[in-house]
Amino acid sequence: MVSSEPPDDLLSMRDIAPELPALLERAARLKAERQWGTRRPVLRGKNVGMIFEKPSTRTRVSFEVAVNDLGGHAIYLSSRDLQLGRGETIADTARVLSRYCDALVYRAFRHTDEVELARWATIPVINALDDLEHPCQTVADLLTMRERWRGRFVGHRVAWVGDGNNVLHSLLLGAAAVGLDVTAATPAKYEPNPEITRAALELAAASGAKLAFTSDPKEAAHGADALYTDVWVSMGEEAEQAAREAAFQGFQVNSELLGLAAQDAFVLHDLPAHRGQEITDEVLDGSRSAAWDQAENRLHAQKAILEYLVPTARHLAR
Ligand code: CP
Ligand code: NVA
């Protein structure tokens, strides 16, 4: 059971770093309960507004199903259809939605907008991806690794191969918090954000996790227990496509790279994948792909996150 007082919001992996082991334990429990057909309606009578400025398959549907499974109601709000899309301020939107809803899930282009929504909202705000972080993804990623490593992070190493982006940022922070080693291979000029890297190194100093950074995918993959990749061109970066495709040559997770990893290593991808770019069909569809379990685990992770952040749900789940 998650113990300490929860943060007001989940904007960064840093917000839940101390509670990650308990949250993962809870997510695993909720996964088992769903398989047994047990449901506890801890969100009964609660409404969760979900503002999306960008497309989504996994995050949107896993949150909707999670809220539904927990007995609540999710309201999908495309920013195009809100007055937000016509210039109503984030502050005013936050104040109004706080009068109707019990939590807000927000997929934003800019992290600063995420912070602004949370500043004015009087209900929990959950980051559903922005340009800096994707914390809910990391909870599902860690759940997936934990399952395959029978609960043990310490002594395992995940190799990141690709962009120093939002997904890597949250992974670095989350892995560092739970004592999981990470080697991140990114092309020059696509390294992770220095401030996030500093924060992750601080968490790693406390947990004993080793974080390493390189521009050589083979060096990262060598002996790794898991390989993780993501798209070369994230949502909102479409104008950089040609430059990125050139810079990321050699950063593909394929059979050759997987051959350098540990014999029982598996492959992670947050999805959607650009098959033939950052990952081959053979690897993504192969027996060592954990991507489909990882996608499923979004659902169980979202439930644990909602339970933790929505005060009444937290109380009922005790
Ligand atoms: N991994 C992930 O966040 O996927 P969606 O963009 O489909 O939500
Ligand atoms: N880095 C990707 C993740 C998609 C889930 C993006 O931001 O588009």
pLDDT tens, residue by residue, 191-206: 999 999 999 999 999 9
Cβ proximity of 171 and 141 under 8 Å: yes
Q: pTM higher than 0.85 for the full model?
A: yes
- Closest ligand 2 atom to the C-alpha of 165? 1
SS3 103: strand
Q: What ligand has the least distance to the C-alpha of 299? A: 1
Topology of domain 13-133+298-317, CATH: Rossmann fold (3.40.50)
Question: CA-CA distances (angstroms) from residue 30 to 234, 286, 301?
Answer: 31, 28, 9
SS3 65: helix
Confidence check: pLDDT of 2 > 80: no
SS3 81: coil
Question: CA-CA distances (angstroms) from residue 8 to 14, 15, 84, 96?
Answer: 13, 9, 23, 18
Cβ proximity of 229 and 265 under 8 Å: no
Task: Choose one of 59, 136, 231 to mutate for the ligand 2 pocket test, by most ligand atoms within 8 angstroms of C-beta.
Answer: 231
Whether the CB of 231 sits within 6 Å of ligand 2: yes
pLDDT tens, residue by residue, 128-179: 999 999 999 999 999 999 999 999 999 999 999 999 999 999 999 999 999 9
Token digits of residue 20: 């990650």
Q: Please report the pLDDT score of residue 128 as a whole number.
A: 98
Task: Choose one of 78, 228, 270 to mutate for the ligand 1 pocket test, by most ligand atoms within 8 angstroms of C-beta.
Answer: 270
Confidence check: pLDDT of 1 > 60: no
**DSSP output for 130-167:** -SS--HHHHHHHHHHHHHHTTT--TT-EEEEES--SHH
Q: Assess whether the region 13-133+298-317 and the region 135-295 belong to the same CATH fold.
A: yes
Confidence check: pLDDT of 105 > 80: yes
| 49 DSSP assignment | E
Cβ proximity of 253 and 280 under 8 Å: yes
Cα–ligand 1 centroid distance for 103 (angstroms) = 20
**Residue whose CA is closest, atom 7 of ligand 1?**
57
* Ramachandran bin of 62, using left for φ above 0, alpha for ψ from -120 to 50, beta for the remaining angles: alpha
**Could you say which architecture CATH assigns to the domain 135-295?**
3-Layer(aba) Sandwich (3.40)
pLDDT-based confidence at 317, cuts 50/70/90? Answer: confident
pLDDT tens, residue by residue, 222-270: 999 999 999 999 999 999 999 999 999 999 999 999 999 999 999 999 9
Query: How far apart are alpha carbons 142 and 55 in whole angstroms?
Result: 24
pLDDT-based confidence at 287, cuts 50/70/90? Answer: very high
- Give the start-to-end residue ranges of the domains of the chain: 13-133+298-317, 135-295
Token digits of residue 5: 């007082």
